[in-house]
Structures are given as C-alpha cells and as structure tokens.
C-alpha cells in the first residue's frame, strides 16, 4: 500500500520546511516504501500549467497536509489562496487532512480566518522547528497508513503507481483459458479491459478515469510484481535424496500467479517419476503423486499466504520420498490443523485473491480443498497429508519412495498410452496389484459375468501386451503380475 500525500502551504514562507520534509521522508526506509510525497517545486512537471498540476495531484492524493504560518498567500479569483483552494478541492470527497501550524507572533487576516475555519472541523499540531514538524508529520502519516490497513484488506489496497500498461497480456490469456464462467470470457469481446479487471476485483478506475491495479490484481496480472514492493517469491527445488543438500533442479520466481502455475506443472512433471517395474509397464504412465493434490496444496499456498510478512518465500521442495510446500503465515484464526477439512465453510485471509481464483478451474470447489487433497492421496494408496502450523503453514505429501504403488480406480489416474484396454481389463489389473490376486479364464469370466471365450480374449490380450505373465497349471492358465 502506497499513500499519496500532497503538501500544501505558501511556498515562499515554508520553502525550507517543504524541502526538508521531502528529503527526510524519501530517505526514511519505512515511509519511502509506504508514502508517495508530492511537493510542487520539486515534483511538479515543468511542462504543465501550475494550476493543472495542483488540481491533478490534489485530486489523486489520499492525504492532504496543510502548513499554516504568518501569511495567507496570493488570492485566487474566487477569493481564496492556493492553500485553501487545494484544501477545498481535497475535502470534496476525502477527509484525511492534517494541519500543522507554525508558532508565530502575528498572522495576517487571511491566515487567521483560515485557521479559525479548520479549528471547527479538525485538530492541528503546532511546531517551531522543522524537526518538530517532521516528527508531527510522520505521526500523522502513520495514522493515515494504519487507518488504511484497518479499513482496506491487504489484497484490496490500490497501487496508485500502477496503470493498465502494467497488465501482462500472457497472464491475461492464461486467466481467460482457466475461466469456468463463459459469461466472463464473453466480456473480453464487448467491454474495455480496465472495466473487466475492475469487475473481477483486480483494480479500480479512479475519478479521472485512470485504472490502477490493486495488490491482488498485481499478483495475478502484473508484468513486473517487484515494481510494487509486494512480498512474492517462489522457490521450487528438487533435491537428490531425503535431505535438503544436493540440488538436482531449481526455479526461483517472482512471476504472476497463472504463469507460476504453468511453471509449477512443468517443474512437477520433470521432477517426479512415472512408474514401471514389470516388463511392458514402462509404456504406461503411473504418476508418483496425484497431480491434483499437489497442485491444490501449491495454489492454497499462493491464495492463503500472509503477504504482510516480510523476508519470506513460498517453497515447493521435492525429495525422493516426499513433497513439502511451505507458505509464510499460520492458519487464520480460529482455524487449526485439527479442524482443517471438517468445517467446509471457507475462511480466507485474502478474500480478493480467492475471489479471483474462484472464477477459474483452479479453485472451483470452494472450501473443500483439504478434503479433496486427502481423498486424492488415499486413492493413490499414499499416506494422508501432514499439516504443520508453526509460524509458517507446511504441507507434507509422502510419496511411494521408489516403489510402484498403483492408485485405486486405476483407469481414472493411469494413462495407458493407447493400449486400448477395456474397463474389465483395467479393473482386473487394479485387483492384481492392489489385492495381489491372479486370474484363470473361469475366475475372470465369473467376476465380470462374461463368457469363457470373452474371458480368454481379454487375458490373452493383456499377456500379449506384456502387462501380465501367465503360467500353465494342469489344463488351465493362470494370469498374474
């Protein structure tokens, strides 16, 4: 969040104070990140008329800071000075105005009247030195920042230094391709882009007609997120072994969400194994992990991270025996590890981020992510996900650790690569692995209620495709893994 601040005063009388405020606040590590200060003689565009610059900057400001001293200043055509005119412009639709009055023995008539006017609507601080003024201004700016943090959720905070030009066309196209609602897709053919982005919650069009991303919008669509000082780093690492020592592959990124998901899919695919330990099975893709469960955990980390914490990163680490996904920030109260997946009423730290995700295929079942993650791991005959909630939120998905473990409902999770198997054959393979059983022509026919001829045809086909072995027992054959 950046608060835009306009300094208003008689320039000649407060030239030293104005320059001092500008320099000190811009050199302050905290305020320089949170405040954009405008002082006309330093920041004003020399090619524009002074009154146009004043008007534009005052209208776009979040906070007005007025300095009152001895002199009221030059009178405008409507009978007020530049300082009071700027104040009138600002308070037309805003209320965060702070005044600082310099101690002095005398004031002219206009200055005295203006001071009496503001006494009726707001408090003001007095100062003697520019150092006292700086301390008072910093306190007021902190108040303005705190009010905005309380009033506006983090992911809804407007980035006033952004515009429609910061929107990345590739990220936008990935969003369109992921949309579940065809009505939103159709908007791209009939509405302006800024209005669509405002509609989905990615930003705001201001009173002058300019579009600005909010922080959620930047995370989804910005060309360069680092421009906006948002904590957003992703570290993907494939380690050799079960300790974080020897790195096989890595990807560190600050990309927007949909690009990250694309990178995640590629990283996951090239760094997890496909099963195949029996002759012939190398032609069949047997995933090491259910991609839906792993992607669910990764997207949850993006959506529910505490973005106000500084210095952290989302980590996606693949080991030989497990995957660990860690996101800065604990579960939002009152959620606990024990209640995860029990109460399906969704509770979001970042409602705006989740609101945009929910329009896509990546978060279509609101509030059921943990339950589906558990079910998918169970279907793959893998241990239930582990959750740790200590400072950071961690998800651990235990893998098969080099073993070939077939998932339940084999046909739903395994790609048989054009082997043209029927449902009976897939079901039989599932039983052979999961229940360690074998089939004769007769037992296969009885299980599926088919003729012996059809049974023989199915089993011989599996044998010829090198998916099963067979051995002769007396006058019959037994088919097995």
Concatenated DSSP letters of 145-170: HHHHHHHS-GGG-B-TT--GGGB-HH
Average pLDDT of the segment spanning 225-242: 92
- pLDDT band of residue 60 (cuts 50, 70, 90) is confident
> Which residues contact residue 425 at a Cβ distance below 8 angstroms, ignoring those fewer than 6 apart?
458, 461, 462
pLDDT in tens, 396-423: 999 987 776 667 666 666 667 667 889 8
**pLDDT reported for residue 33:** 86
Average pLDDT of the segment spanning 177-187: 89
Residue with tokens 């995933």: 287
Average pLDDT of the segment spanning 446-450: 93
pLDDT at 10 over 50: yes
For the chain, domains (ranges, CATH) are: 3-151 (3.40.50.450), 164-228 (no CATH), 235-398 (3.30.565.60), 418-480 (1.10.10.10)
> Which residues contact residue 300 at a Cβ distance below 8 angstroms, ignoring those fewer than 6 apart?
327, 369, 395
CA distance 193 to 473: 72
CA distance 305 to 190: 34
Average pLDDT of the segment spanning 442-448: 93
Of 78-82, 124-128, 446-450, least confident by mean pLDDT is 78-82
- Determine how β-strand 97-102 pairs with β-strand 35-38: unpaired
CA distance 277 to 35: 61
Average pLDDT of the segment spanning 45-53: 52
- Give CA separation, 276 vs 29, 199, 366, 404, 437, in Å: 56, 49, 36, 7, 19
User: Is the dihedral angle over the CA atoms 329, 330, 333, 339 positive or is it negative?
Assistant: positive
> Which residues contact residue 329 at a Cβ distance below 8 angstroms, ignoring those fewer than 6 apart?
304, 305, 306, 309, 349, 392, 393
What is this structure's pTM? 0.61
Averaged pLDDT of the chain: 86
């Amino acid at each position: 969040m950046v608060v835009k601040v306009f300094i208003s005063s008689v320039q000649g009388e407060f030239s030293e104070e104005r320059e001092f405020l500008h320099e000190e606040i811009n050199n302050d590590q905290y305020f320089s990140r949170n405040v954009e200060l405008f002082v006309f003689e330093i920041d004003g565009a020399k090619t524009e008329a002074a009154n146009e610059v004043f008007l534009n900057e005052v209208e776009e400001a979040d906070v007005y800071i007025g300095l009152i001293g001895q002199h009221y200043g030059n009178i405008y055509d409507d009978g007020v000075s530049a300082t009071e005119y700027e104040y009138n412009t600002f308070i037309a639709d805003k209320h965060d105005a702070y005044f600082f009055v310099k101690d002095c023995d005398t004031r002219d008539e206009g200055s005295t009247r203006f001071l009496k006017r503001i006494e009726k609507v707001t408090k003001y601080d007095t100062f003697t030195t520019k150092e006292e003024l700086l301390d008072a201004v910093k306190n007021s700016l902190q108040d303005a920042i705190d009010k905005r943090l309380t009033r506006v959720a983090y992911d809804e905070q407007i980035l006033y230094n952004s515009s429609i030009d910061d929107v990345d066309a590739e990220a936008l196209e990935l969003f369109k391709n992921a949309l579940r609602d065809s009505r939103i897709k159709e908007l791209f053919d009939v509405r302006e882009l800024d209005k669509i982005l405002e509609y989905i919650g990615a930003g705001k069009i201001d009173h002058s007609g300019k579009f600005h991303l909010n922080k959620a919008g930047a995370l989804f669509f910005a060309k360069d997120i680092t421009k906006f000082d948002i904590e957003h780093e992703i570290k993907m690492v494939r380690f050799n072994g079960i300790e974080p020592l020897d790195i096989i592959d890595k990807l560190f990124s600050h990309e927007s969400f949909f690009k990250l998901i694309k990178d995640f899919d590629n990283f996951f695919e090239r760094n997890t194994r496909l099963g195949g330990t029996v002759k012939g099975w190398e032609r069949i893709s047997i995933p090491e992990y259910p991609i839906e469960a792993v992607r669910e955990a990764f997207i949850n980390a993006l959506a529910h991270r505490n973005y106000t914490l500084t210095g952290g990163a989302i980590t996606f680490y693949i080991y030989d025996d497990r995957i660990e996904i860690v996101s800065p920030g604990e579960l939002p109260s009152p959620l606990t590890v024990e209640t995860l997946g029990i109460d399906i009423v969704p509770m979001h730290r970042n409602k705006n981020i989740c609101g945009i995700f929910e329009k896509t295929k990546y978060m279509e079942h609101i509030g059921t992510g943990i339950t589906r993650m558990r079910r998918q791991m169970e279907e793959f005959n893998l241990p239930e996900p582990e959750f740790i909630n200590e400072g950071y939120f961690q998800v651990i998905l235990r893998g098969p650790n080099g073993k070939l473990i077939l998932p339940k409902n084999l046909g739903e999770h395994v790609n048989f690569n054009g082997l043209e198997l029927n449902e009976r054959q897939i079901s039989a393979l599932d039983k052979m692995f999961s229940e360690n059983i074998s089939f004769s022509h007769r037992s296969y026919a009885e299980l599926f209620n088919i003729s012996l001829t059809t049974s023989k045809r199915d089993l011989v086909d599996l044998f010829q495709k090198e998916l099963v072995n067979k051995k002769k027992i007396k006058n019959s054959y037994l088919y097995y893994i």
